[in-house]
Chains A and B, each alone.
Chain A
Amino acid sequence: MVERSGYPAVIAEVEVLTPTLRKFVIAAQGTRFPAVSAGSHVVLGFGDASRRYKNAYSVVSATPDGRELSVIVRRAPQSRGGSVFLHDQAQDGTPVTVLSSANLFPVVKTARRHLMLSAGVGITPFLAHARALEAEGADYTLHHFCRPEEKPAFEALLATLPPGRIFIHDRPPEDAGMKERMAAEGIATHLYFCGPEGFMGWVEQAADALGFVAAKVHSEHFFVPEGGRPFTAVLARSGERIEVAGDETLLEALERSGVDAPCMCRGGACGACALEVLDGVPEHRDHVLSEQEKAEGRTILTCVSRARTDTLTLNL
């Protein structure tokens, strides 16, 4: 059971993969971590006296005994500082807390075959999936796209998987003949992809043109909430006013004020944190609300979205 306070842990190992990617092995202190399914993320709590962070990262591996799990973190200098903290300050022994876990990017267990495409740090969920699919003898192929200078790092990361199932490309998918490969897939294949927005757009278009139906196309928009203009959140029921600083999210500000706000993915992908907006205009940054819902402005996902107005009144 995940306690409200989470699972205490420390960073046991830091591995530099590329100048912008680091792998962190996190070791449980005391209570074992619960098992996690492939594709899960964990919300990690960490920081120092001046600043606490709660960020979600895909779990790339976990030991069966629940003693260790690993995440890969990309240094995102324009974000709110969590990844910069981990890259610049975290080392062996740095305390972290595993606050919760959830799986928003599972594979379809009934699928006959899985085709997985990733770019950059989008590889993280597929590291777990590929190992799990390999262990159960499932049919899958993973194509990873990266810059030429990063290729050796990803080759090392994927070295334990059979070469026939793993393809690492140092060219864009268009040049690597990816569309032709996709067109040759059998009708039972499910398609999964994760990577930067430009890559995501390319795969979406290619899948659409080839006649992949929505039920067989699965993606995870990895998304680091960015800061923005400060604003004030007004809680309608209590009248409380909460200042949201430029480098924190609305959700973080609510939590800092002791409000028990709902949340899960912390990346604008699941919709669990949706709150009703009574006054003010939200600035939507999520992948969940429809265009119509965004235009209506009655709902906000607190984990990523902000305000266009100086105040935002929430039904809370």
Chain B
Amino acid sequence: MIVSSQLPFAPLALDRSGVRHLYVRDAAACPLPEGCGAVMPEVWTVVSDATAMADMGEGEILLRSATALLERLAGRLARERVGLRLYAAGGASFLSRVAIVADAAGLAVGEVLLAPPRDAARRVLCVHCDTVNEAVEGDTVRCLGCGTTLFVRDHYSRGLGAYMGVGEPEILLQAMEAAARHG
């Protein structure tokens, strides 16, 4: 048993126990789930284009932004009936937000399937001042709210959609360094 608070990412494969399938992605480069063919999911794609119209073209709905897609998703899930499987692929931040929308709509384990994120840009919550720092690439970030250099802990809150960021007092960093030198 892997103990982790991470989202349960796994390569996408069509789940035949579902009776309807919806696939959302934040870029057209994300491949369809394995096993698509006879059964095709409805596909929603973010195209980052202000002229895109959200209607069915080429069997696919194009959305202008991730935010537009997530708003539309919330509306759809509120009316959805039992049997849907929701698949999502894209960046880590997009997947975090999809999970929040799906959880709010009452979807459960087995109804939401998330592909491994295609980037490492994480959302990081500063535990000291509650500021969410977006698109953090490395293991540290200077908090936009309180200026603390946050170390990103491998501890993720699905509800907040963010990793925990905690500062390290300067004197401890120095003492640790000194100990490492002498140790």
Q: Which residues of A contact B (CB under 8 A)?
A: 111-112, 182-189, 208, 210-216
Top 9 A-B pairs, shortest CB-CB distance: A188-B106, A211-B83, A213-B110, A215-B108, A211-B19, A187-B80, A215-B109, A185-B82, A112-B106
Q: Are B17 and A187 in contact (CB under 8 A)?
A: no
Instruction: Write out the residue numbers on chain A whose beta carbons fall within 8 Å of the beta carbon of B75.
Output: none
Cβ of B147 to closest chain A Cβ, rounded Å: 37
Beyond A187-B105, A188-B107, 20 extra complex contacts between A and B, CB < 8 Å: A183-B82, A183-B83, A184-B81, A186-B81, A186-B82, A186-B106, A187-B80, A187-B81, A187-B82, A187-B83, A187-B107, A188-B106, A210-B83, A211-B83, A212-B82, A212-B83, A213-B108, A213-B109, A213-B111, A214-B109
Q: Are B80 and A186 in contact (CB under 8 A)?
A: yes
State the CA gap A224–B105 with chains docked (Å): 39
98-142 of chain B: CB within 8 A of chain A = 105-111
Q: State which size class the interface on B falls in.
A: 10 to 19
25 A-B Cβ contacts within 8 A? Answer: A111-B106, A112-B106, A183-B82, A183-B83, A184-B81, A186-B80, A186-B81, A186-B82, A186-B106, A187-B83, A187-B84, A187-B105, A187-B106, A187-B107, A188-B105, A210-B19, A210-B82, A210-B83, A211-B19, A211-B82, A211-B84, A212-B83, A214-B109, A215-B108, A216-B108
Cβ of A103 to closest chain B Cβ, rounded Å: 20
Instruction: Write out the residue numbers on chain B whose beta carbons fall within 8 Å of the beta carbon of A214.
Output: 109-110
Q: Which residues of B contact A (CB under 8 A)?
A: 17-20, 77, 79-85, 105-111
> Chain B interface secondary structure, helix, strand, loop or mixed?
loop
Cβ of B107 to closest chain A Cβ, rounded Å: 6
B108 nearest in chain A by CB position: A215
Instruction: Write out the residue numbers on chain B whose beta carbons fall within 8 Å of the beta carbon of A213.
Output: 17, 108-111
Q: Are B19 and A187 in contact (CB under 8 A)?
A: no
Q: Are B107 and A211 in contact (CB under 8 A)?
A: no
Cβ of A186 to closest chain B Cβ, rounded Å: 6
Instruction: Write out the residue numbers on chain A whose beta carbons fall within 8 Å of the beta carbon of B18.
Output: 211
State the CA gap A188–B82 with chains docked (Å): 7
A215 nearest in chain B by CB position: B108
Instruction: Write out the residue numbers on chain B whose beta carbons fall within 8 Å of the beta carbon of A211.
Output: 17-20, 82-85
Cβ of B21 to closest chain A Cβ, rounded Å: 10
Instruction: Write out the residue numbers on chain A whose beta carbons fall within 8 Å of the beta carbon of B109.
Output: 213-215
Q: Are B108 and A185 in contact (CB under 8 A)?
A: no
Instruction: Write out the residue numbers on chain A whose beta carbons fall within 8 Å of the beta carbon of B84.
Output: 187, 211
Instruction: Write out the residue numbers on chain B whose beta carbons fall within 8 Å of the beta carbon of A183.
Output: 81-83
Q: Are B82 and A182 in contact (CB under 8 A)?
A: yes
Instruction: Write out the residue numbers on chain B whose beta carbons fall within 8 Å of the beta carbon of A215.
Output: 108-111
A216 nearest in chain B by CB position: B108
Instruction: Write out the residue numbers on chain A whose beta carbons fall within 8 Å of the beta carbon of B106.
Output: 111-112, 186-188
Instruction: Write out the residue numbers on chain A whose beta carbons fall within 8 Å of the beta carbon of B82.
Output: 182-183, 185-187, 189, 210-212
Instruction: Write out the residue numbers on chain B whose beta carbons fall within 8 Å of the beta carbon of A184.
Output: 81
Instruction: Write out the residue numbers on chain A whose beta carbons fall within 8 Å of the beta carbon of B108.
Output: 213, 215-216
B84 nearest in chain A by CB position: A187
Instruction: Write out the residue numbers on chain B whose beta carbons fall within 8 Å of the beta carbon of A187.
Output: 77, 80-84, 105-107, 111
Cβ of B79 to closest chain A Cβ, rounded Å: 8
State the CA gap A184–B17 with chains docked (Å): 17
State the CA gap A182–B81 with chains docked (Å): 10
Cβ of B17 to closest chain A Cβ, rounded Å: 6
State the CA gap A208–B79 with chains docked (Å): 21
Cβ of B101 to closest chain A Cβ, rounded Å: 13
Cβ of B134 to closest chain A Cβ, rounded Å: 28
Cβ of A159 to closest chain B Cβ, rounded Å: 30
Q: Are A185 and B81 in contact (CB under 8 A)?
A: yes
Instruction: Write out the residue numbers on chain A whose beta carbons fall within 8 Å of the beta carbon of B81.
Output: 183-187
